[in-house]
Structure 1
Amino acid sequence: MKEKTLKKIWDLLVVFTIFNMIFLLVIYKNPDFKFNSIILGQYVGLLGQGYFYTIGISIISLILSLVFSGLLFAMSISKHKWLNYFYTCFTQIALGVPLMVHIIVLYFFLTSAIGIRNPLVGGTLILSLYMSCYFAKTFEGAYKDISSQQFKMMHILGLPKHICMIKIILPQMIKVTLPTLTSHFALLVKSTALLSLISVPEFTQMINLFNSKTLEFVTGYVLLAIGYLAITIPLSICANWLNKKVVQR
């Protein structure tokens, strides 16, 4: 156990050294690389507001994505073929086009056509619909991984379909999909940056505003990277922990 711990510490030191060498090389090759923390303090309120919006949009989009993905998943396993076709077409179109294109086209043409002119509301809805396809595909994969013998046994026992879904199928699906869903949430958080294209006042938009006012592009983009890492790294750690504790149990 002691040797294993020492090896782990050594490996971490090696990785830490490599990243430090890369960082020092960047600093050496770019003498103008300066992080201006003094001017940054003058815009704490503005940047904090953008960060708050990013977190809020991410949470709301996650909730809506789970709701929409549940509906899409229900369509994928429905006995009605037209619902199966709708699910296939919707996910293929959504996932086959970059999110940036969805945001621009859907906001300026679709959401405005149905009366949604607020970029915050429209952007959140578009992001939620897009991410719901990832969640739905994850649910579909977990559902297909359930052995056919279980479905045969449930049919033999004559259990109601809703009881089978709630008591037997869903617990297995949740166990398998939790780490992947956590990773998708990290992707959702990063995807909020694209909402700056339609002037949603999230973190990236506020960083762009900070850069335009101060011309401190290095400071702004370094802070942008740190801000997103502060959210995504804990989510990545959580996904790994869930994979070890829940899936591999």
Structure 2
Amino acid sequence: MPDLQGYGWLLIDGLMLTLGVAVASMIGALGVGLLAAMGKLFAPRAGRFLIEAYTTFVRGVPELVLLLLIYYGVPTLIQNVAAGFGLDWSLSINPFAAGIGTLTLIYAAFACEVFRAAYLALPPGQREAAYALGLNRGITFRKVELPQMMRHALPGLGNVWMVLVKATALISIIQLPELMRNADIAARSTRQPFTFFFAACLLYLGITLVSMWGQARLERWAARGTLEARS
């Protein structure tokens, strides 16, 4: 067991913040991603174009660039625009909000494609049968299509979660005291970078292993009806 020289509490604090940011960002990404997927499938042409532009831009730009753009660039842009109107505004974004907001926007774009593919994987006969029973569009989506979509989407969403957890390390660049930031502080204080960065690696790996176990159980639970039908 590596000697953390009393800095273990700092890593635990960072781990808790990392998990908080990851969970909040994933919840936001699921909500925004589902809405974006439905927009891509059913919105008018102008709406589909805007959503396609959003997902293409976000998936094509590195996460670090987007984080710096939102945290440093947006306040500066707003201040410059305000100065053009003779206003003296001083604006800053909370690092916690910036981290969650940026990760939500980024991984909502990936979740959007997962949800869209899951919807397209549904047999058309499912919704046709629902309409034949007199169900309207909204009830058909909630009661028939969405539960089956989630079963198809779980593997892809699990991958989104894994990547999102690792991407939380990027928010250390905006001074948010998450796991990597605190590991760096401890490493600089003790001059033992290998010890603390390796400890951070083990903690990230622990999150991944627990997530893989939970995802496998969730996928088995979601597929229980189909497995019984096949047997």
> Normalising by structure 2, what TM-score?
0.84
Correspondent of 1:186 among 131, 149, 162: 162
Residue 104 in structure 1 maps to residue 68 in structure 2:
yes
Task: State the distance in 1 between where 2:198 and 2:174 align.
Answer: 23
Partner of 2:119: 143
CA contact (8 A) 2:66 2:102 kept: yes
Partner of 2:49: 85
Partner of 2:7: 43
For the aligned residue pairs, the C-alpha RMSD in angstroms reads 2.0
The residue identity in structure 2 corresponding to 1:222 is F
Partner of 2:81: none
3-state DSSP of counterpart to 2:93: coil
CA contact (8 A) 1:116 1:122 kept: no
Instruction: Specify the structure having the higher radius of gyration (Cα).
Output: 1
Task: State the distance in 2 between where 1:111 and 1:227 align.
Answer: 34
Deviates more, 1:127-136 or 1:71-80: 71-80
Residue 240 in structure 1 maps to residue 204 in structure 2:
no
Correspondent of 2:204 among 211, 222, 228: 228
Task: State the distance in 2 between where 1:111 and 1:129 align.
Answer: 18
Task: State the distance in 2 between where 1:60 and 1:111 align.
Answer: 23
Structure 1 gap ranges (5+): 1-34
3-state DSSP of counterpart to 1:42: coil
Q: CA deviation at 1:231?
A: 0.8
3-state DSSP of counterpart to 1:159: coil
Structure 2 gap ranges (5+): 79-90
The one-character-per-residue Cα deviations of 1:205-243 (angstroms, maximum 9, x if unpaired) are 011111111110110111010111111111112223334
> Normalising by structure 1, what TM-score?
0.78
* Identity between Structure 1 and Structure 2 (%): 26
Task: State the distance in 2 between where 1:87 and 1:178 align.
Answer: 22
Correspondent of 1:69 among 33, 47, 55: 33
